[in-house]
Structure 1
Amino acid sequence: MSLGIVLLSATLNLNSHLPPLQLWQGQSEALMQQEGPLTTDFELSGGLESPNYEQTNEFLKRLVASNPTQFQSVKIGVSDQGRDINMLLAVEGSQFSPAMMKNNNKPTLLIQAGIHAGEIDGKDAMFMLLRDIATGKRRDILSKVNILFIPILNVDGHERSSEFNRINQRGPVTMGFRTNAKNLNLNRDYTKLDTPGVRSVLKVINDYAPALYVDVHVTDGADYQYDVTYGFNPSFASESPAISKVLEEQFTPIIDTKLAKSGHIPGPLVFVMDKRDLKKGLAGWVASPRFSNGWGDIKGLPTILVENHSLKPYKQRVLGTYVFIDGVIDALAQQHKALHSAVEAEKQSYPKELVVSRSYSQQPDYIPFKGIKYKSFESALSGHKEVKYLGEPINYEKLPVFWQKEIKTIVQVPEAFYIPPQYADLVDKLKLHGVEVEALPEGTSLAGLTQLTVDNHSFANSPFEGRFRVDATFKSNLLNEEVSLSGWTKVSTKQAYSELVTHLLHPVAPDSFFAWGDFHSIFQRTEYVENYALEPYARKMLKESPKLALAFDKKIREDKKFAKSDKQRLEWLYEKTPYYDKAYLKYPILMSYTGQ
């Protein structure tokens, strides 16, 4: 019995709980080879399996050996468990250095697979495409673009491999795990930078300055006809609308046409408002900067998120990814000047205010949608109506889609942020983000700076991505006295990545360093007061300040809870003494605003 038959039998057994499949045949099946130089492990398995970490690295070596003038493999990082994170460079004429690639008059495309290691379609698709370049079948590609390819970003999750990692996904037979060895999701790490994988990617972006960044995933959720869905933050909700318009108007038609001609059905990057009832509408998600595509949008780096449909067979998804990348290469080759112009325009945009969070609109838009018929039934297991997909196509002429159009939070953008030296680790993170920073010399001092004080706050009840996130409101205080800034770092918002600076450093932003918990120490007090010392001091203080005494009496009269609490009364008095911790609840990063 052949390996392919064994794997097919195992796959059918594993997928017996999933909705029925639509039969699929596409021209892209001709891309597969069964023998010959550089036949991939995916192809040898009949499109059912993906190679492990060791086999993946062996194939990288074979690619480089096949044509060292076009391919080079480099280590870009090391995982928590000590595995190398590798990247393949595919460039004409041994022009592998970042400087040479930036000056060879071709746009550079960065493609990333396996950020969620169970979603590994991009690895096998790109290995086929790179093989076709190596063997001369696709000699045209490197005449148009330079390619950077990361086959497995989450290498530790990749090796936590099992047949049972994804109950709602058709293949590969064995697949990696979503998170890394520390159980962190790399695609929630683009602002806080806790994972070596994402730190490695940002260094690659700084070094090579790609014209376009593609992050390949597999989605979960509803059943529908589309096998390749993809997208980016739409122009009406983008912080880089000029870039989004080029992707919408000049890239999407080229990519969609190529996919359709090869037998694939491209679809929009939307999710479902209610997974038990598709007819309630679609969720038009706008990614925040913790995600690859949201970070790219805020940074002004053109970024496309691919979400292949998890219920389609692995072979179909991988072949669709090959065709998708081929379409991206065509679009980038044809439209890179327009894209570059949009990027440069966004670098000159310095907004005075910034939307940092959004919510779903109450009123929907309507789009046609290629769905799959389903029925609802009462489940004795859940005690709730559940959905059963029937495997038959249904085309909705007008399905509601609720985009995150509603503006939830806007912040005023400072002219600059000032970071004290004890937070040098955040300065290092800003540099990794590509942000320009300025070390202030000894003797620097400024007046008119603004400091925010936490007014109300709440910590999350449970950790998220290894952090206890915090939500807070603030009071603003203008500091009229001069503040010594010797050894501090100035971060201007009048720079190419203005929006990214504000999202990272303004504490109101949901993906700021503050919100992720980098300033938890300001919520604790470490000097204490004894009542035997405070009571006589406060009595003397009230006697010497009639104004303060009147305020204390008024607080007692008007706040019954305060009046009955000895703790609150003494705390109020302690706050008015010069002994009180002046740094308590103070956001330590100062801000300056135009006109102050």
Structure 2
Amino acid sequence: MKKTLSLIFSCALALCSSAQQTPFEKSNGKETATYTELISYFKNITQKYPEAKLLEYGTTDIGKPLNLLVLSKSKDFDPVSLHTKGKAIILINNGIHPGEPEGIDATMMLVRDLLEKKQLPDNVVLCFIPVYNIDGMLNRGPNSRVNQNGPVEYGFRGNSRNLDLNRDCIKTDSRNSLAFQQIFQNWKPEVFLDNHTSNGADYQHVMTYIATQKDKLNPEVSAYMNNKLIPVLLAKMKERKFEMVPYVNVWGNTPDKGYEGFNDSPRYTTGYSTLFNSIGFVVETHMWKPFDQRVWATYAFMQELINQTEKDAKEIIDTKRKADEMVKNQTAFAMDWKVDTSKVEQIAFKGFEGKYKPSEVSGLDRLYYDRSAPFEKQIDYKNSFKPTQLVGKPWAYVISQSWGKVIELLKLNGVQMKPLTKDMALRGEMYFIDDYKTGTRPYEGHYLHSTIKVTKDTMNVQFYKGDYVVQVDQAVNRYIVETLEPQAIDSYFNWNFFDSILGQKEGFSDYLFEDIATEILKKDPELKAKLEEKRKADPKFAQSAYAQLDFIYKNSPYYEKTHNRYPIMRLLQPVYLGN
């Protein structure tokens, strides 16, 4: 296999000798481009070929614009016009983790080759983000990925705020993510690809893949992706000597014992793309394979994805349109997913035997993979997921204009909203946050909430002119519901957007409230009975004078009714909102 791969690489390099060579090619597959080399390269490309255009979107956290390179055979670079003409859009993202630069270098060569050889597809427009994490690409060095086999130098995983941008698609702490979402919503890709390099177990495969989880993707899109597209891609990659398997998702184990599919929640790029019924792939080249093999595998996958999208463009577009219509009318939405362990399939896996030997560091047993002991066998793969909780959609959500970041992100993601034209008291469901867990350590700049428990109460709430009503009858319903329902795994609530509601603003002084509490109990025998019952059931409560006063306070008219009240109303029935 090594001889075959070497021949492929040598031939490919020879073909490029007369063209504009990349730093990867000039170094015989040992180096990756710098940021300056990358942008200069694509500026030269666009000067030479009118079918290529380099666009700028916003600014990143490092102060540089996020670039998008568009290849359009018709020289039409208007996304609305292109969709109207029935062109499918592929969006390919590179360098979200710049220490994993294969996509950067493979894209440089693929773009040049498509243009130079006049091989641009007729039915597909190609959008490439040359590098997403510009900040990390500029933070270049040879040491940050100790387990990776080349290139000589590369970028860093975190951006200039030390954020992992592949966890930022919902919380949107970075300006990079704002620009990325603008690109995604402007171009509305039918197909999305994010290029990566894996960490973890050792095996023979140069490349693995994560496909949008089949049960989480709309059934129409999932059927095409899993029954047609993936089998074709795997067959084509096998022909090109890059046989692929699903991403090797093992922790504390060896892959020969089997593994589970990856649960790509909306914080990840493919989880985000799922919310909009786009086909999504993450490809992961194996960290310990030579860098040149990893780059050419990425080149091959992009090429095959483009070829198959070109062949099936109409089917892919029609399938996404059907999915968008289905989502408009979808009534129940999953808040999170877990693997269904009762459903197991078999996949052909080429690995190396995992063995143990004494560690020269600790003297204890350590795992190693014996490359002199390769194997090929069928292993268990669990890739069926089921929802952990379903929530029915309301007719609409009502959001106070005071929650500015929420409003901005909804608008950015194509959510249609109607501002109230006058002050109005509306009656609907309000959640109260009864319980939740919070991480004890920061995760991507947040103390993430989870395991949310809520109760609902129907009540009248005053809203004001300029507050927003979001009807849940849109193609982007999944984004709406999975961000605004607090129980959802990547909801705005879980990412701390609404933590201020969890703080009680008023309280009592116990020595003064004693007399008031006494009067409250005299006038409310039912509350007094509840207090007695709680004393009997909870000895610790019975021994705490303050806890008993607090119980009375929270069941009195003095307690603020907005404490722990989730601030977004669920309107269950249509309401006339005026002009």
TM-score range, shorter chain: over 0.9
> Contact conserved, 1:418 with 1:490, CA < 8 A, in 2?
yes
Q: Which of these residues, 556, 565, 589, is aligned with residue 568 of structure 2?
A: 589
Deviation at residue 594 of structure 1 after TM alignment = 5.7
Amino acid at match of 1:416: A
Deviation at 1:287, TM superposition (A): 0.9
Q: Which residue of 1 aligns with 2:318?
A: 341
Q: TM-score, normalised by structure 2?
A: 0.93
C-alpha spacing 1:93/1:537, structure 2 compared with 1 (3 Å):
same
Q: Which of 85, 89, 96 is the aligned partner of 2:66? A: 85
Q: CA deviation at 1:300?
A: 1.0
Once the two structures are superposed, residues 321-377 of structure 1 have per-residue CA deviations (whole angstroms, 9 ceiling, x without a partner) of 111111111111111222122211221223332222223344443322111233222
**2:510 counterpart of 1:531:** yes
Selected match of 1:63 from 45, 50, 61:
45
Kindly indicate whether residue 433 of structure 2 is the aligned counterpart of residue 454 of structure 1.
Answer: yes
1:391 aligned residue (371, 379, 382): 371
Equivalent residue for 2:348? 368
SS of residue in 1 equivalent to 2:356:
strand
| Structure 1 residues 29 and 200, CA gap change in structure 2 (3 angstroms) | farther
Structure 1 gaps of 5+ residues are 1-20
Matches within 5 A, 1:210-225: 210-225=189-204
Q: Answer yes or no: is 1:252 the counterpart of 2:227.
A: no
- Give the Cα–Cα distance (whole angstroms) in 2 for the partners of residues 512 and 298 of structure 1: 13
CA distance in 1, matches of 2:165, 2:484: 21
CA contact (8 A) 1:22 1:391 kept: no
The structural deviation recorded for 1:75 is 1.4
Q: Distance in 1 between the 2:371 and 2:518 partners?
A: 79
Q: From 188, 192, 205, give the equivalent of 2:171.
A: 192
Match of 1:487 among 454, 460, 466: 466
Q: Distance in 2 between matches of 1:576 and 1:97?
A: 59
Closer/same/farther in 2, CA of residues 273 and 463 from structure 1, 3 Å limit: closer
- 2: CA distance, partners of 1:560 / 1:507: 33
CA distance in structure 2 between the partners assigned to 1:362 and 1:551 by the alignment = 44
Q: Distance in 1 between matches of 2:297 and 2:461?
A: 61
Establish whether residue 281 from structure 1 lines up as the match of residue 262 from structure 2.
no
The separation in 2 between residues aligned to 1:538 and 1:219, in whole angstroms, is 62
The 5-angstrom pairing of residues 201-240 of structure 1 reads 201-235=180-214, 237-240=215-218
1:516 to 495, 498, 522: 495
Partner SS for 2:6? coil
SS at match of 2:241: coil
Select the residue among 397, 402, 407 that pairs with 1:422.
Answer: 402
- What is the DSSP-based 3-state SS (H/G/I as helix, E as strand, rest coil) of the residue aligned with 2:549? helix
Give, in angstroms, the shift of residue 256 of structure 1. Answer: 2.6
State the distance in 1 between where 2:454 and 2:179 align.
37
The alpha-carbon deviation at position 507 of structure 1 amounts to: 0.3
Question: Given that residues 25 and 263 in structure 1 are in contact (C-alpha distance below 8 angstroms), is that contact kept between their aligned partners in structure 2?
Answer: no
Structure 1 CA distance, aligned partners of 2:7 and 2:82?
35
1:493–1:499: 8 Å Cα contact kept in structure 2? no
The equivalent of 1:10 in structure 2 is none
Instruction: Tell me the residue number matched to 2:249.
Output: 271
Between the aligned partners of 1:316 and 1:37, the Cα distance in structure 2 is: 21
User: How do 1:544-559 residues align onto structure 2 when only pairs under 5 Å count?
Assistant: 544-559=523-538
1:389 Cα offset (Å): 1.7
Give the TM-score taking structure 1 as reference length: 0.90
Deviation, 1:384, is 5.2
Residues 268 and 552 (structure 1), Cα distance of their counterparts in 2 relative to 1, 3 Å cut: closer
Matched, 1:402 2:382: yes
Separation in structure 1 between the aligned mates of residue 339 and residue 81 of structure 2, nearest angstrom: 45
Aligned equivalents of 1:128 and 1:503: distance in 2? 38
Q: 2:281 aligns with which of 299, 304, 327?
A: 304
Q: Rate the CA distance shift 1:82–1:483 in 2: closer, same or farther, 3 A.
A: closer
Aligned residue pairs, count: 570
Measured in 2, the distance between the counterparts of 1:352 and 1:229 equals 35
Structure 2: distance between partners of 1:225 and 1:26: 19
Separation (CA, whole Å) in 2 of partners of 1:419 and 1:554 = 39
Which residue of structure 1 lines up, in the alignment, with residue 77 of structure 2? 96
Tell me if structure 1 keeps the 8 A contact 2:172–2:178. yes
| 3-state SS in 2 of match to 1:32 | helix
Tell me, yes or no, if the aligned pair for 2:166 and 2:269 is still in contact at 8 Å.
yes
What are the superposed Cα offsets for residues 524-560 of structure 1, whole Å, 9 maximum, x if unpaired? 1222312233111111111122222222222223321
Deviates more, 1:488-497 or 1:32-41: 32-41
SS of 2:113's equivalent?
helix
CA distance in 2, matches of 1:181, 1:480: 45
Confirm or deny: 8 A CA contact 2:275 2:479 kept in the other structure.
yes
Distance across 2 between alignment mates of 1:556 and 1:513 = 37
Structure 2: which 5+ residue stretches go unaligned?
none
Distance 2:210 2:154 in 1: 25
Per the TM alignment, residue 23 of structure 1 is displaced from its structure 2 partner at its CA by 8.2
